[in-house]
Amino acid sequence: MIGRLWLRGLVAALVAVPFTAPVFAVDVGKDARHEAGRKIYNFRCYFCHGYSGDAKTLAATYLTPKPRDFTKDDEKSIGREQMIGAVRDGKAGTAMKGFKGIIPERDIDLVVDFVRAEFIRAKAANTRYHTPENGWPNHERHKVAFPFATGVIPLDRPWEQLSPVEQKGKRLFLTTCISCHDHARTEDPGPVWGGRPLSYPRNHFDPGDFSAPPPTKADAIASASPYALHDVVPQVSGLTSTEKRGEALFQGNCAFCHGATGTGRNWIGSFMEPHPRDLTDPKFMRDMTHGRLAHTIREGLPNTSMPAWKSVLKDEEIDAIVSYVSRVFHPVKP
């Protein structure tokens, strides 16, 4: 149920927020153009279409019709201009939304050319998520949980029908992997949406609904939710241009886990284990330095949900985020 509720918010965040999008497009040679297209795809498209273009994703299990599996296409089955139109304008009756006005036309060209070369022609396996570069060293040590993450064993198979090793894998999946993989595969998944409200959202506040104004502090308190208060962006006057840039980058990228308040006490952060760092905690932040925090953002933290951002954010963007954190949440040492 957790994954089902935050799915809409994450898809909306990836599609609908223009200021969170890094600009990857550059006028360079063929190989660099391909890699620029890869970065755009890995930031915008993988969640539904999969890192390798085969649409084997959690999101795809909830979508009708399913996202397109590019590995089943050839260059005749779908033309380049047809794909550019779909990315630019979306496809009616599907979850494919248009990116016109969100990313520049040149980025649309780059990502379409990447998909055609990488998945349609080469049928290549693209970036893997669980890599040392993304903060997942020696991921094979968790292999007992892999059958549940990949759907080889349904998650709702009775415990008594599992071997001791499989039971160990299921426990690991339920305590760690489920926050992203959700139900994986189940023989009886139950209703996709339930009518019974959980503790959040309340008072008609729906995270990821960017058509509505963000909650105010009064709204958050009145909602009787312990989480909504941490989705209210702090109002700090006198920010420098660098700090304002850091604010846009933090609120567009980091707040999904750390909360708008930097505490990690928002809805998503409360379910993560270990919890995202509370960037306002004096005990933790007392000895924090600019360089250490920038390194953590750049390289990620092994064995946590903190990914490496070095392939997404430029060094000056990371420095801007650190400056914003130092000004708004807790000072960091030079």
Peptide bond into 213 cis (omega under 30): no
pLDDT tens digits, 80-105 = 999 999 999 999 889 998 999 889 99
Alpha helices in 2-157 (DSSP H): 2-16, 30-44, 46-49, 80-89, 105-115, 146-150
pLDDT tens digits, 244-275 = 999 999 999 999 999 999 999 888 888 788 88
3-class secondary structure per residue, 267-318: HHHHHCCCCCCCCCCHHHHCCCEHHHHHHHHHHCCCCCCCCCCCCCCCHHHH
If 0-12 CB within 10 Å is exposed, 13-18 middle and 19+ buried, where does residue 192 land? exposed
Calpha distance 47→100 (Å, rounded) = 19
pTM of the model: 0.46
**Measured CA distances, 122 to 52, 53, 86, 119 (Å):** 11, 11, 21, 6
Instruction: Supply the pLDDT for residue 56.
Output: 85
pLDDT tens digits, 144-182 = 999 998 889 999 999 999 999 999 999 999 988 887 787
